[in-house]
Structure 1
Amino acid sequence: MATATDPDALSTEAERPGRLREFWYYFRENRGAVFGLWIFLAFLFVAIFAPLIAPHDPTAQYRQAFLQPPVWQEGGSWQFPLGTDMVGRDMLSRLLHGARFSFFVGIVVVVIAAGGGITVGLLAGFSPRWLDSIIMRLMDVILAFPSLLLALVLVAILGPSLLNAMIAIAIVLQPHYVRLTRASVMSELPKDYVTSARVAGASLPRLMFVTVLPNCLAPIIVQAALSFSTAILDAAALGFLGMGAQPPTPEWGTMLSEAREFILRAWWVVTFPGLAILVTVLAINLMGDGLRDALDPKLKRS
């Protein structure tokens, strides 16, 4: 029975905050990553509270205010701070609600792609050589196609919609998780703790998901952050091509698609959605670089 002065209990309690402090120490050394984290949190706040922050309904049309410029230009109004689009919808409200769709796409795609990819990668790492070869050659075939083109083909088969776009993007991103998980598993299998677990009689599912997987999570977390930004970018690209979210959904790519005919007449209808995509993707990529620096022991400086 452990006492209050049991050194094992004390070391276990001190280990977690120590690891968090170490993670934050290496993460904050990358100033770009910290900046990206704050931008990401700001967009997350906007995505959660968009209905409360947005001044107007994102689909409401104000017939008296077609293509009204932003407030700082002549003809602008504080009623529509960032102007209106070609049918009189408030740009600010649509951008705020667009953040919700973009983050929803990122979360769903990462969960589906990571869940399936990690499971298949674990199976490949623990399976016989012939089955491992079949799984990895299948992943190589998927990776041989340009990702956006393959997603476009899948959406064309499933039908244009935001849900089908998310499924297609998740399928395209899944091989990256399979390869990364398998590589991590193969590097962990020869280690002593895995051998000890086998000798102790651990079942295969316990060996895969409890013993080995936690030690493979560092590169997977970094890949998830980068996949989040890729999902937002691909969803916007599919929306721009008319194969993702459909009008009048306030999704950033769909907004760009609707506004491309008015680039010369009203710069704001294409500039603001494009900037939203640029800033969000850049912030997540910077944050992913910081996660890599903080989680990869080879990159840590003594």
Structure 2
Amino acid sequence: MSDASSATARSVPTGRPGRLKEFWGYFKENRGAVMGLWVFAVFVLIAIFAPLIAPYDPTVQFRGNTLQPPAWQEGGQWQFPLGTDAVGRDMLSRLLHGARYSFFVGIVVVVIAATGGIVIGLIAGFAPKWLDTLIMRLMDIILAFPSLLLALVLVAILGPSLLNAMIAIALVLQPHYVRLTRASVLNERTKDYVIAARVAGAKWPRQMFVTVLPNCLGPIIVQAALSFSTAILDAAALGFLGMGAQPPTPEWGTMLADSREFILRAWWVVTLPGLCILVTVLAINLMGDGLRDALDPKLRRS
């Protein structure tokens, strides 16, 4: 009897390692998500080690080599593997450092938007009816505006800079977290474990952050992954419009803005930053789909 019990206990995965293994089992069923994860990991490593990988400083100008195409140079040396821009800056070095700015923008925006949105959503989910209605109508007003247009207006008020662009994008994305958190809280509040915690005397902050929030993290994590790509796109769009990162910052959107007048005679100065944005956003979206499939029990295959 004891042998059978011990065998059963060994067969049941317990603890965090078991849950992570189960999550990875569902996640890897989506091949696109796994591919997106690998591409995302490569870009993360590039962003971290950009100063070591880049052959030149991204702001150094080689005035004698302006708009050089991606090609071998004289003497068999690969001096500018991806060419140079209009003022002679190495495109490879600028693209590598641009990954740092794009991922920095994504991380900061997601942290600000998610933190504020989760707190407000928890308050709305536990608040009296009048306060809940007030908060949600305010979120509806924000969502009524086109996101990029609202971010552009906020940056125009705050002043063009990368920091102000991140703040504006975070404020625009925050209502999505508020609505998602509130919906999850309302779904969890009526369950037995929350009622038991309330009967046991748990205060409202403990009910919100300790009892309910951990069970609402699944959809929030998926939303964070998708918001990461949205933040990169919006930051690039603001940079392209001259309202985000300012020259000579090697940000992908700013690089597009600086090179748009050379699109017909120097394809690489426009195509390469655009490809970086495309591949990064596509990889993050594919990874977000995999997270959704792995974290949502309704989408799991039997």
TM-score band (shorter)? over 0.9
Structure 1 residue 235 and structure 2 residue 227: aligned?
A: no
**1:155 Cα deviation after fit:** 0.1
What is the SS of the residue equivalent to 2:49? helix
TM-score when scaled to structure 1?
Answer: 0.95
**1:265 Cα deviation after fit:** 1.0
Relative to structure 1, is the Cα distance of residues 141 and 10 closer, same or farther in structure 2, using a 3 angstrom cutoff? farther
Partner of 1:283: 283
**1:14 Cα deviation after fit:** 2.1
State the superposition RMSD in angstroms: 2.0
Q: Deviation above 3 Å: which 4+ runs of structure 1?
A: 9-13, 72-77
Distance in 2 separating the partners of 1:293 and 1:15: 21
Unaligned runs of 5+ in 1: none
| Letter paired with 2:294 | A
1:172-199 per-position Cα deviation (integer Å, ceiling 9, x unaligned): 0000000000000000000000000000
**1:10 Cα deviation after fit:** 8.8
Structure 1 residue 120 and structure 2 residue 136: aligned?
A: no
Structure 1 residue 208 and structure 2 residue 208: aligned?
A: yes
Distance in 2 separating the partners of 1:188 and 1:109: 27
1:44-92 per-position Cα deviation (integer Å, ceiling 9, x unaligned): 0000000000000000000110000001699996110000000000000
1:160-171 → structure 2 map (5 Å cutoff)? 160-171=160-171
Partner of 2:36: 36
The count of corresponding residues between Structure 1 and Structure 2 is 296
**1:13 Cα deviation after fit:** 8.2
| Letter paired with 1:91 | M
Unaligned runs of 5+ in 2: none
Partner of 1:111: 111
1:249-279 per-position Cα deviation (integer Å, ceiling 9, x unaligned): 0000000000000001100000000000000
What is the SS of the residue equivalent to 1:209? helix
The answer to whether the 8 Å contact 1:70/1:77 transfers is: no
Structure 1 residue 271 and structure 2 residue 271: aligned?
A: yes
1:1-302 → structure 2 map (5 Å cutoff)? 14-71=14-71, 78-302=78-302
| Letter paired with 1:51 | P
| Letter paired with 2:264 | L
